[in-house]
Amino acid sequence: MKVYIAGKITGNPNYKRQFAKAERELKTQGHTTMNPAVLPDGFEHHEYMKICFSMIDICDSVFFLSNWNDSIGAQMEHIYARATGKGLLF
């Protein structure tokens, strides 16, 4: 299954480690992952969201890190994933 990883990035100094850990665990389970934590710096929030929504579009499910509810972007991804019929993994 193709799985997008969602969680708090902005204001989270540990986001790269948290996303990488989730990615490793999902890959161990046999999934292909899309990890937004590897996107380059320099874009505006709305531009990142366009990229992330496109990543969600090609995935079957979205895995939400435990801190997802502390992130406006991850909350938007949750709404988008539900609206587009993606599986939700927690």
pLDDT (tens digit per residue) in 48-69: 999 999 999 999 999 999 999 9
Residue in the structure block whose two tokens are 């992952």: 33
- pTM of structure: 0.96
Count of residues for the chain? 90
Sequence-ordered list of residues with C-beta below 8 angstroms from that of 57, at least 6 positions apart, any chain: 84
- 26-46 residue pLDDT tens: 999 999 999 999 999 999 999
Q: DSSP code of 3?
A: E
Distance separating alpha carbons of residues 37 and 79, to the nearest angstrom: 19
